Structure 1
Amino acid sequence: MCICVNCRHVQNCITYNLIQQQHNNKCNKKIISNYFIPQETLININIYYTDQTILFDWDLIECLSFIEIPGYWTI
Protein backbone atom coordinates (compact mmCIF):
# COMPACT_ATOMS: atom_id res chain seq x y z
CA MET A 1 0.00 0.00 0.00
CA CYS A 2 1.24 3.44 -0.92
CA ILE A 3 2.07 5.47 2.20
CA CYS A 4 1.22 8.69 0.33
CA VAL A 5 -2.48 8.55 1.18
CA ASN A 6 -1.76 9.53 4.78
CA CYS A 7 0.94 12.10 4.05
CA ARG A 8 0.71 15.84 4.52
CA HIS A 9 2.32 16.39 1.09
CA VAL A 10 0.01 14.14 -0.97
CA GLN A 11 -1.83 17.06 -2.58
CA ASN A 12 1.25 18.51 -4.29
CA CYS A 13 3.89 15.74 -4.22
CA ILE A 14 5.61 15.13 -7.54
CA THR A 15 6.32 11.48 -6.66
CA TYR A 16 2.68 10.79 -5.80
CA ASN A 17 1.68 12.45 -9.05
CA LEU A 18 4.04 10.10 -10.92
CA ILE A 19 2.53 7.07 -9.17
CA GLN A 20 -0.98 8.24 -10.11
CA GLN A 21 0.10 8.56 -13.73
CA GLN A 22 1.51 5.05 -13.67
CA HIS A 23 -1.82 3.79 -12.34
CA ASN A 24 -3.53 5.67 -15.20
CA ASN A 25 -5.66 7.54 -12.69
CA LYS A 26 -7.84 9.73 -14.90
CA CYS A 27 -10.07 11.04 -12.10
CA ASN A 28 -7.48 13.45 -10.68
CA LYS A 29 -7.04 16.15 -13.30
CA LYS A 30 -6.04 18.83 -10.81
CA ILE A 31 -3.04 20.79 -12.05
CA ILE A 32 -0.41 21.21 -9.38
CA SER A 33 1.43 24.49 -9.68
CA ASN A 34 3.50 24.24 -6.50
CA TYR A 35 5.17 20.84 -6.63
CA PHE A 36 6.71 19.34 -3.53
CA ILE A 37 9.82 17.22 -4.23
CA PRO A 38 10.25 14.62 -1.47
CA GLN A 39 13.61 13.36 -0.29
CA GLU A 40 14.87 9.80 -0.55
CA THR A 41 11.80 7.96 -1.73
CA LEU A 42 11.59 4.24 -2.33
CA ILE A 43 9.02 2.97 -4.83
CA ASN A 44 8.03 -0.69 -4.95
CA ILE A 45 6.73 -2.00 -8.28
CA ASN A 46 4.91 -5.34 -8.21
CA ILE A 47 4.48 -7.16 -11.51
CA TYR A 48 1.44 -9.38 -12.03
CA TYR A 49 0.82 -11.69 -14.96
CA THR A 50 -2.75 -12.55 -15.95
CA ASP A 51 -3.20 -14.63 -19.09
CA GLN A 52 -1.38 -12.49 -21.66
CA THR A 53 -1.53 -9.24 -19.73
CA ILE A 54 1.19 -7.76 -17.57
CA LEU A 55 0.04 -5.43 -14.77
CA PHE A 56 2.21 -3.13 -12.67
CA ASP A 57 1.29 -1.97 -9.17
CA TRP A 58 3.27 1.07 -8.01
CA ASP A 59 3.55 1.88 -4.30
CA LEU A 60 5.70 4.37 -2.45
CA ILE A 61 6.90 2.48 0.61
CA GLU A 62 9.50 4.82 2.09
CA CYS A 63 9.99 8.59 2.07
CA LEU A 64 12.04 10.78 4.38
CA SER A 65 9.63 13.67 3.80
CA PHE A 66 6.63 11.69 5.05
CA ILE A 67 4.52 13.51 7.65
CA GLU A 68 1.53 11.47 8.75
CA ILE A 69 -1.93 13.01 8.66
CA PRO A 70 -4.40 10.12 8.33
CA GLY A 71 -6.98 10.66 5.59
CA TYR A 72 -5.36 13.83 4.23
CA TRP A 73 -5.70 12.60 0.62
CA THR A 74 -9.50 12.96 0.87
CA ILE A 75 -9.32 16.73 1.35
Structure 2
Amino acid sequence: MCICINCQHVKDCTTYKIILIQHNQRVSSKSNTIFTPSNTLIQININQNLYSMKLEWDLVECASFVEKPGFWLI
Protein backbone atom coordinates (compact mmCIF):
# COMPACT_ATOMS: atom_id res chain seq x y z
CA MET A 1 0.00 0.00 0.00
CA CYS A 2 1.26 3.46 -0.89
CA ILE A 3 2.12 5.42 2.25
CA CYS A 4 1.40 8.69 0.45
CA ILE A 5 -2.29 8.69 1.35
CA ASN A 6 -1.45 9.29 5.01
CA CYS A 7 1.22 11.91 4.43
CA GLN A 8 0.89 15.63 5.03
CA HIS A 9 2.75 16.33 1.77
CA VAL A 10 0.50 14.26 -0.53
CA LYS A 11 -1.14 17.26 -2.22
CA ASP A 12 2.08 18.94 -3.35
CA CYS A 13 4.49 16.00 -3.71
CA THR A 14 6.28 15.40 -7.01
CA THR A 15 6.74 11.68 -6.31
CA TYR A 16 3.02 11.18 -5.62
CA LYS A 17 2.22 12.95 -8.90
CA ILE A 18 4.50 10.50 -10.73
CA ILE A 19 2.73 7.56 -9.09
CA LEU A 20 -0.68 8.96 -10.11
CA ILE A 21 0.50 9.29 -13.71
CA GLN A 22 1.77 5.68 -13.68
CA HIS A 23 -1.68 4.57 -12.47
CA ASN A 24 -3.30 6.53 -15.33
CA GLN A 25 -5.06 8.74 -12.79
CA ARG A 26 -6.13 12.27 -13.58
CA VAL A 27 -3.72 14.82 -12.13
CA SER A 28 -5.23 18.19 -11.31
CA SER A 29 -3.70 21.01 -13.30
CA LYS A 30 -4.28 23.21 -10.24
CA SER A 31 -2.06 21.07 -8.02
CA ASN A 32 1.18 22.69 -6.90
CA THR A 33 3.71 19.88 -7.13
CA ILE A 34 6.44 21.83 -5.42
CA PHE A 35 7.61 19.39 -2.77
CA THR A 36 10.36 16.93 -3.65
CA PRO A 37 10.76 14.28 -0.93
CA SER A 38 14.07 12.74 0.02
CA ASN A 39 15.13 9.11 0.13
CA THR A 40 12.07 7.55 -1.43
CA LEU A 41 11.62 3.89 -2.24
CA ILE A 42 9.01 2.92 -4.83
CA GLN A 43 7.94 -0.70 -5.06
CA ILE A 44 6.60 -1.86 -8.41
CA ASN A 45 4.52 -5.04 -8.34
CA ILE A 46 4.00 -6.88 -11.60
CA ASN A 47 0.67 -8.67 -11.96
CA GLN A 48 0.53 -10.79 -15.07
CA ASN A 49 -1.94 -13.24 -16.51
CA LEU A 50 -2.15 -14.93 -19.87
CA TYR A 51 -3.42 -11.84 -21.71
CA SER A 52 -2.17 -8.78 -19.86
CA MET A 53 0.28 -7.31 -17.45
CA LYS A 54 -0.43 -4.64 -14.83
CA LEU A 55 2.11 -2.60 -12.89
CA GLU A 56 1.20 -1.45 -9.37
CA TRP A 57 3.32 1.46 -8.13
CA ASP A 58 3.55 2.08 -4.36
CA LEU A 59 5.73 4.40 -2.35
CA VAL A 60 6.80 2.24 0.59
CA GLU A 61 9.51 4.36 2.19
CA CYS A 62 10.13 8.09 2.34
CA ALA A 63 12.37 10.10 4.65
CA SER A 64 10.07 13.12 4.24
CA PHE A 65 6.94 11.27 5.38
CA VAL A 66 4.89 13.21 7.95
CA GLU A 67 1.91 11.22 9.16
CA LYS A 68 -1.48 12.87 8.83
CA PRO A 69 -4.05 10.07 8.33
CA GLY A 70 -6.71 10.77 5.72
CA PHE A 71 -5.14 14.08 4.57
CA TRP A 72 -5.63 13.11 0.91
CA LEU A 73 -9.43 13.00 1.45
CA ILE A 74 -9.70 16.69 2.32
Could you list the per-position Cα deviations for residues 19-74 of structure 1 after superposition, in whole angstroms to 9, with x for gaps in the alignment? 00000012x42433351000000000000102221100000000000000000001
With normalisation by structure 2, the TM-score equals 0.92
User: Which residue is 1:54 aligned to?
Assistant: 53
CA contact (8 A) 2:5 2:72 kept: yes
Unaligned residue ranges in structure 2 (runs of 5+): none
The code of the aligned residue for 1:45 comes to I
The code of the aligned residue for 2:10 comes to V
User: Which residue is 1:32 aligned to?
Assistant: 31
Distance between the aligned counterparts of 1:34 and 1:16, measured in 2?
9
Matched residue pairs, number?
74
Unaligned residue ranges in structure 1 (runs of 5+): none
- Which segment is superposed worse, 61-70 or 44-53? 44-53
With normalisation by structure 1, the TM-score equals 0.91
Q: Percent identity?
A: 47
The code of the aligned residue for 1:69 comes to K
User: Which residue is 1:74 aligned to?
Assistant: 73
CA contact (8 A) 2:11 2:33 kept: no
